[in-house]
Structure 1
Amino acid sequence: MQRRSVLSLAGATLAPAVIPVLGHAADTLTELRLDYATYSPVSLVLKKFGWLEEDLKRDGIAVKWVFSAGSNRALEYLNANSIDIGSSAGLAALLAKANGNPIRTPYIFSRPEWTALVVPKDSPIKTLADLKGKKIAATKGTDPYLFLLRALQTVKLHRSDIEHVGLQHADGRAALEQGRVDAWAGLDPMMAASELDAGSRLLYRNVAFNTYGFLNVREDFLARQPALVKRVIAAYERARLWTIANTSEAARILSEEAKVSLQVALLQLKLRTDLSQPQPSAEHIKALQAAAPILLEEQLVKPGTDLVKTVEALVDTRFAQGLIKA
């Protein structure tokens, strides 16, 4: 692992012309490691066009992209110091933070409806109450898994009332369509593909139970490389604005990367992805604090964990100010 040093430059602004050049001391960072994911279409756009590589090349900094199959993978990579910046769902980030993952969130990459509870098209299951005793696939440590627990809670069911089958998202879809599980806590674009290609049915939807897309940074990296993190956010902003202005083309990029049809990609990007709120705010803090009790009730964190303070320690509402355009 290459050694990394502190950069003492002032914070960057969005305009590339005034972003400060990083220093060239002997111990300067030479590689930035960040993830990309099909549940974060903006990350695919940024990777596709190489805007971050173009910006950092002048400082001799290479960009290493690591694929995240789900929030759990991104958070594992961050915790293991395998990446510096990674994308996950908000509630999954809170769970990780509460359990010791040293991360902070200075940017919101989307407000999605990326998860729902899915059943086969011919399933006799009609209501959430019908899930009692059933096999349900979900990726532990991700928004779909936590969505499942919150959904069950609305009909007074708990994790112990179902048979949880721990599978990564793509495997969960396969298990559903092959009849090996009764339901699946889905994730787009696999969920949209299952709907359109296999006729799978969304049993339960709740936009409020889908937490925001969090761009997380290791705390030590954020402290040592604040100017570089601001440049990453500026690049994300460029990709976000391009995606809003070129949704159909962004859907083609998503389609190619995720190996799904253009129709599936358009369903995810046009109907289930809101890119209008990238600045972390009191709204995101409030949403996480409302969702947090499920972590204690299902014993996913240590008893007595102060989740209110953990949320405040996770969501950075000030770092990206000045970098984000309307």
Structure 2
Amino acid sequence: MMTVFDRRSLLRTASISGRAALAAPGLLRAQALDEIRIDWATYNPVSMLLRDKGWLEQEFQGDGTRITWLQSAGSNKALEFLNASAIDFGWTAGSAALVARVNGNPVKAIHSFSRPEWTALVTRADTDIGTVADLKGKSVAVTRGTDPHVFLIRALADAGLTERDLTPVLL
């Protein structure tokens, strides 16, 4: 299923989320906000659209607030950037945010967009792997704590396997 976003709903969501977060206790500033640092990622079409169209820049231009974009390579990197104070807002998959929170990282969800994500288990064409069950005894690359990791565990369970039945290559 493809989701279509219109400019108005994207701007409303980003603006409300950003302004609500900035007005949260302890974050409201007496002077104007000079900059908002936000990540974008190729796995996140909403962030790419906002960045490419310049809609946040247009929205905050009247306030004199500069929008600075930093590319992340995945939810784990966005969370690392948040923890290092390199960005103010990051995009992350649900399981990565949950794992970060469980591990004591001080992240706060200010907006949630719920649509099923796609995930694919892929292999080279020259292997004898044709089903999830064929992964038994094989090496599988995965970033622990991400949605694809959760989907891998589910796929293995559906095939009667667990992570102990393969060699995870953790990224």
Q: Tell me the TM-score normalised to structure 1 length.
A: 0.42
* Alpha-carbon contact 1:40-1:109 (below 8 Å) kept: no
> Deviation per CA, 1:251-300, whole angstroms, max 9, x where unpaired?
xxxxxxxxxxxxxxxxxxxxxxxxxxxxxxxxxxxxxxxxxxxxxxxxxx
Give the aligned partner of residue 38 of structure 1.
42
SS of 2:109 mapped into structure 1: strand
SS of 1:119 mapped into structure 2: coil
Pairing 1:142-161 to 2, within 5 Å after superposition? 142-161=146-165
User: How far did residue 150 of structure 1 move?
Assistant: 2.3
Alpha-carbon spacing, 1:132–1:123, altered in 2? closer, same or farther (3 Å): same
User: How far did residue 160 of structure 1 move?
Assistant: 2.4
Picking from 57, 60, 65, the partner of 1:56 is 60
CA–CA distance in structure 2, aligned partners of residues 120 and 94 of structure 1: 32
Give the aligned partner of residue 107 of structure 1.
111
Pairing 1:217-256 to 2, within 5 Å after superposition? none
* Alpha-carbon contact 1:34-1:64 (below 8 Å) kept: yes
Identity of aligned residues (%): 52
Pairing 1:1-326 to 2, within 5 Å after superposition? 14=12, 25-26=30-31, 28-109=32-113, 111-167=115-171
Aligned length: 150
> Deviation per CA, 1:186-230, whole angstroms, max 9, x where unpaired?
xxxxxxxxxxxxxxxxxxxxxxxxxxxxxxxxxxxxxxxxxxxxx
* Alpha-carbon contact 1:74-1:87 (below 8 Å) kept: yes
* Structure 2 letter corresponding to 1:93: A
User: How far did residue 110 of structure 1 move?
Assistant: 5.7
User: How far did residue 37 of structure 1 move?
Assistant: 0.8
Unaligned runs of 5+ in 1: 1-12, 168-326
* Structure 2 letter corresponding to 1:154: D
Unaligned runs of 5+ in 2: 1-10
- Greater RCO (Cα-Cα under 8 Å, separation 6 or more): 1
Alpha-carbon spacing, 1:24–1:157, altered in 2? closer, same or farther (3 Å): closer
Give the aligned partner of residue 173 of structure 1.
none
CA–CA distance in structure 2, aligned partners of residues 120 and 80 of structure 1: 36
User: How far did residue 141 of structure 1 move?
Assistant: 3.0
CA–CA distance in structure 1, aligned partners of residues 133 and 30 of structure 2: 62
* Structure 1 letter corresponding to 2:52: K
User: How far did residue 73 of structure 1 move?
Assistant: 0.6
SS of 2:91 mapped into structure 1: strand
Greater helix share, structure number: 1
Alpha-carbon spacing, 1:48–1:73, altered in 2? closer, same or farther (3 Å): same
* Structure 2 letter corresponding to 1:104: K
CA–CA distance in structure 1, aligned partners of residues 122 and 68 of structure 2: 35
Runs of 4+, deviation exceeding 6 Å: none
User: How far did residue 112 of structure 1 move?
Assistant: 4.2
